Amino acid sequence: MRAAVATIRELAYLCGVSVATVSRVFNNPKAVTPKTREHVLRLARELGYRPNEPARTLATKKSYMVGLIWDTDHRSPGWRHPFFQEILIGLKTALSEEGYHLLLLSTSDEDAAGGPSLDGYLHAVRRHSLDGVVFIDSGNESPAPHAIAEAGVPCVSLDRPVDGPRATYVTSDNAGGARDAVAHLHATGRRAIATISGPLRTRPGADRLAGYREALDALGLPCRPGHVQEGDFYLAGGHAAMRRLLEGGDRPDAVFAAGDQMAIGAMAAIGEAGLKVPEDIAVVGFDDIELAALVPPGLTTVAQDKAGFGTMAAATLIEMVDGPAVEAPPPAILPTSLVIRGTTTPRF
């Protein structure tokens, strides 16, 4: 391969046209005669010319880059969104198709950017001329997304509502999924259905609990106070919450855990208490992480549309960035689907 031509001026010279024409070939092809267009394109291809992005960004204020903010300190388990990786794939793929790139931003950049200011991310966005931002919630109530959203930067947040002139969010149908889970437990013969909720300050935590309550209501089952235990979305929290449920004297015959990790922790606690899943206590989780299918006897769970998160976030963001600057699209609520496995086999 020959050395790539460096600049638009060189290419213009070689083509015998002006820089403006070359520029137009790439940015507004129909403003240029087919003949010259082809000529320029052919030479560009042969010489391996590609317009320089920083220069283009400088001139247009559009970088074709979006920031992925992933607000967390690296010590806490908070950074582990249950399917960060799937989200990332979906996001990256969808953005690439539209010619956008993804720049990773995390808490450390905030400080590095000059002191722990509340709007460190906003500065990062400005510095790089980012076209928009995707924010993955880690449940730690960071003020970052609000600062950005309010500044009018196109912004989509995952699993956490934000408002701002060009901000929206995408989440699963948490309440609906929870209702399905409870209805399924009821349909398999369980009547004393407890729940291990997520942290109630998180939106999915609160919504899944609400769905649980609605379902009990609809089924005419009482909502016994001891049957709601708050967890932390992680293994340990599920384990501890399950022990509380077991020690409560009012032993449930089914548990809806608002996250698969908690469900697995709960199953461990059930085993330690000498009880069996699903014979003594049925379990349903939420998320459908990879592990759910592997842990015996297979965890019944409310599956989220993992790839959908990324894809939807990308689509929504691009709509705000590219589209006519009207207003923020409505929040996207992804459907869930119940995956039935061994932890909820019917009672006789």
Partner DNA sequence: GCTCTCGATGTAACCGGTTACATGAAACCG
Partner DNA sequence: CGGTTTCATGTAACCGGTTACATCGAGAGC
* Sites of contact with a copy of itself (CB under 8 A): 1, 4, 45, 48, 50-55, 57-58, 63, 65, 74, 79-80, 84-85, 88-89, 92-93, 96-97, 99, 101-106, 108-109, 112-115, 119, 123, 126-129, 235, 264, 291, 294-295
215 neighbors 200 (Cβ within 8 angstroms) = no
Q: Give the single-character DSSP code of 227.
A: G
Query: Which helix (H) or strand (E) segment is 8 a member of?
Result: helix 8-15
Q: How far is the CB of 208 from a copy of itself (least distance, A)?
A: 23
Nearest residue (CB) to DNA, 37 versus 213: 37
120 neighbors 107 (Cβ within 8 angstroms) = no
Number of residues interacting with DNA: please give it, by CB under 7 A.
30
24 binds, among a copy of itself, DNA, none (CB under 5 to 8 A by kind): DNA
Nearest residue (CB) to DNA, 21 versus 311: 21
6 binds DNA (CB under 7 A): yes
Strands (E), 110-230: 132-136, 155-158, 167-172, 193-197, 228-230
Q: How far is the CB of 51 from a copy of itself (least distance, A)?
A: 7
Q: Kindly tell me which residue out of 20, 187, 236, 293 binds DNA, with binding defined by CB under 7 A.
A: 20
79 binds, among a copy of itself, DNA, none (CB under 5 to 8 A by kind): a copy of itself
2 binds, among a copy of itself, DNA, none (CB under 5 to 8 A by kind): none
Q: Which amino acid is at 55?
A: A
No. of H helices and E strands in the chain? 14, 12
Spell out the residues 6+ positions from residue 258 whose beta carbon is closer than 8 angstroms to its own.
178, 195, 196, 197, 198, 204, 205, 208, 209, 231, 233, 286
31 binds, among a copy of itself, DNA, none (CB under 5 to 8 A by kind): DNA
Q: How far is CA 300 from CA 62, 186, 219, 228, 306, in A?
A: 46, 14, 20, 20, 17
Residues numbered 94-113 forming contacts with DNA, rule: CB under 7 A: none
332 binds, among a copy of itself, DNA, none (CB under 5 to 8 A by kind): none
Question: Minimal CA–CA distance to 211: which of 185, 184, 173?
Answer: 173
Residues numbered 29-68 forming contacts with DNA, rule: CB under 7 A: 31-33, 35-37, 49-52, 55-56, 58-60
Neighbours of 141 (CB within 10 A): 11
243 binds, among DNA, a copy of itself, none (CB under 5 to 8 A by kind): none
- Give contact residues for DNA (rule: CB under 7 A): 6-9, 16-24, 26-27, 31-33, 35-37, 49-52, 55-56, 58-60
